[in-house]
Amino acid sequence: MKKWWGKSVMAYVAEVLVGYGLLELLIYIIFPFWKAKSGDLALSVLVLTFASACLEKKRQFLLRTLFMAVLLMAPAFVGLLAKQPLPIAMQYRTIAFSLIFSGAFFFLQAILPFRKIRIGISAVFYLIVFLLFLLPWGYFFASHSLLNASAVLAVFQTNPAEAKSYLVDFMPWQAWGIMAVLLAAYVFLLRQWRPSLLSMRTSLQNRWGILLIMFCIVLTSYSLYRTRDSFYKHLAWESQRGLQAYRDFSLYREARASSLKEDLSGINKGHSGVYVLVIGESQNRMHMSAYGYNQETTPWLDRMKNDSHTVFFTDARSCHTHTVPVLSYALTAKNQYDHRDLAKATTLIEAAKAAGYKTVWLSNQVRYGAWDTPTSAIASEADQQEWLNTHVGETTETAVYDGALADRLAEVKPSDKMLIVIHLMGNHGSYIDRYPQDFAVEKGPTAEYDNSILYNDYVVQHIYDTAKQMPNFQGMVYFADHADDVDRNIGHDASRFTQDMTRIPFYMIFSDDYMKDYPGAVRELRAHATSGFTNDLIYNTMLAVMGVVIPRDYEEQNDLTCPEYNNDKTRFRTLHGQQELD
């Protein structure tokens, strides 16, 4: 024991000092932006030093620990490649956490008494590590960016088929090949490790050995606690906070409805008639001929934009690049320019119902009921709901094309006051799935997307022609939730944000009666046709068009029908206020 304590410990100390010095040198030479103190890394080296002192096969322990730790360090490396480096403190803690967590597992593996238990726990650990390695790298290959909370929330708001569609469209086959090779190599390596589990030093089976083991356990526990603010904890916390906000939105529903009745008591409850709000999906106006695209993808809108009944907006942008974040603002009183709590924000459906409108929701989208997002919560408040995709929360493979929504609209029994919201599948990827082959007429690298735009134009024409036949039809408002950056083939992933992901179409078509009865509103809308606008102001816009005024929510600077609408284009933003617009 004295020999071990006198000689080997000194050797370990020397190894620690040399190893730590080399590690620091590597960090400061290769990654010069790391300038913070590296106490967490020093702590991780200390943990591994004492843990290896307890084991027979130190070299094997350190090699295995380092290998697993490198896999867990994936976010730090991906952040560098994606030019989205983690904050300095988080980089250190992520690397330190990876080393300590991996070392703790192999140490635990050695002290567990039964071989079968050790093998079972090992299998679970290896699976977790590979998944934590695969997720950031897989997301990087698909999006060229670092995994973030927005992407995680998008997963909770999507379904397996939509995720599959995204991966097929935007993840190159080379990336799938690399992942397959890495998985095969990983399985092969683990098969080599399985027969040789680590074990404790036989010379330490005494009082001093037990004390050393206990010290290692305490030190490891403290180290894991200290490095808890790593990338993984931060990602989990941000994602959990977002999901909680969505849950709170539904919980406040009854309270919102109750207070809204009081707010509308004695207030002008809006104009009579039928109003239609059509929500497009993933539609980039830069691929619409009505907005100057060089192929005829919107023949109907090309004609209608110059019609006297149409107000055609030329500078509308989306408030986010994902559907649920967009609609959670667009269809509620919450917007990027106030400090209102989303959970307590009145929804468009709630406001319309309180004002005496019958409400209808027609959708060809997947019903996101499994995760209770604001979109599904808002839709569930409608008096009448029609979901053409019956595979609730399971698939984006629609049994029918969007044109069927116009047929369902024709079956709606109109009332004196009615708001109809129609949510299209629109131009959502895979684009080829969004239109019948009769519309496969465009050519070029973005032909499938352009064909889907052409079909979307036909669908909206069909919806408008159906709606205007309804008694007392007043008008139709159309906007897209966000755009796809088709030319760069990167979809609408917020972590790869480009301005093109926000360039959406926005227009309104009114009846003769509406234009005659409310000329002031139409005049102001035309005056602001070239003004800046983000679609989180749709709530304000629709209520203004319908003549509904809620004093606590009304914002004249965000009302397109008001002369005081704020047209300062420098104020408009996206990604829920985090990104400026050009």
Q: Is the pLDDT of residue 127 over 50?
A: yes
Q: Is the pLDDT of residue 490 over 90?
A: no
Q: Is the pLDDT of residue 233 over 70?
A: yes
For residue 86, the model assigns a pLDDT of 78
pLDDT tens-digit profile of 546-560?
Answer: 999 988 889 999 999
Task: Tell me the β-bridge partners of 312.
Answer: 507
Q: Is the pLDDT of residue 37 over 50?
A: no
Rounded to an integer, the average pLDDT of 227-234 is 74
Q: Is the pLDDT of residue 313 over 70?
A: yes
Rounded to an integer, the average pLDDT of 429-446 is 89
Rounded to an integer, the average pLDDT of 133-144 is 78
For residue 193, the model assigns a pLDDT of 62
Residue 273 in tokens:
């008639």
Q: Which residue has the higher pLDDT, 224 or 430?
A: 430
Which band of pLDDT confidence, cut at 50, 70 and 90, is reported for residue 399? low
Which band of pLDDT confidence, cut at 50, 70 and 90, is reported for residue 63? confident
For residue 145, the model assigns a pLDDT of 75
Task: Tell me the β-bridge partners of 278.
Answer: 422, 478
What CATH code is assigned to 268-580?
A: 3.40.720.10
Out of 8-12, 94-98, 275-279, the most confident range is 275-279
Rounded to an integer, the average pLDDT of 3-23 is 49
For residue 298, the model assigns a pLDDT of 98
Alpha-carbon distance of 435 to 401, in angstroms, equals: 7
For residue 434, the model assigns a pLDDT of 92
Q: Which residue has the higher pLDDT, 62 or 246?
A: 62
Which band of pLDDT confidence, cut at 50, 70 and 90, is reported for residue 28? very low
DSSP state string for 168-193 = HHHS-HHHHHHHHHHHHHHHHHHHHH
Other CB atoms within 10 A of residue 154 CB: 22
For residue 369, the model assigns a pLDDT of 42
For residue 182, the model assigns a pLDDT of 66
Out of 104-118, 221-235, 267-281, 300-314, the most confident range is 300-314
Alpha-carbon distance of 502 to 479, in angstroms, equals: 12
DSSP, res 230? S
pLDDT tens-digit profile of 405-420?
Answer: 999 999 999 999 999 9
| Cβ–Cβ under 8 Å, residues 271 and 515 | no
Q: Is the pLDDT of residue 562 over 50?
A: yes
Other CB atoms within 10 A of residue 39 CB: 11
For residue 83, the model assigns a pLDDT of 77
Q: Is the pLDDT of residue 582 over 60?
A: yes
Of all residues in the chain, what percent carry a pLDDT higher than 70?
Answer: 70
Q: Which residue has the higher pLDDT, 577 or 179?
A: 577
Q: Is the pLDDT of residue 179 over 90?
A: no
Query: What is the model's pTM?
Result: 0.67
Sheet holding 417-423, edge to edge: 310-313, 506-510, 473-480, 273-280, 417-423, 358-363, 384-387
Q: Is the pLDDT of residue 27 over 70?
A: no
For residue 1, the model assigns a pLDDT of 39
For residue 54, the model assigns a pLDDT of 72
Of all residues in the chain, what percent carry a pLDDT higher than 90?
Answer: 41
Alpha-carbon distance of 280 to 392, in angstroms, equals: 20
For residue 406, the model assigns a pLDDT of 94
Cβ neighbours for 459, distance < 8 A, ≥ 6 positions apart: 401, 402, 403, 405, 406, 424
For residue 260, the model assigns a pLDDT of 67
Task: Tell me the β-bridge partners of 313.
Answer: 506
Give the lowest-confidence range in 8-12, 30-34, 73-77, 429-433: 30-34
Measuring CA to CA, how many Å separate 531 from each of 312, 479, 480, 540? Answer: 11, 15, 17, 15
Task: Give me the residue spans of the domains in the chain.
Answer: 2-239, 268-580
For residue 391, the model assigns a pLDDT of 47
For residue 103, the model assigns a pLDDT of 79
Q: Is the pLDDT of residue 478 over 90?
A: yes
Alpha-carbon distance of 8 to 365, in angstroms, equals: 66
Q: Is the pLDDT of residue 156 over 90?
A: no
Q: What amino acid is encoded at 261 in this protein? A: K
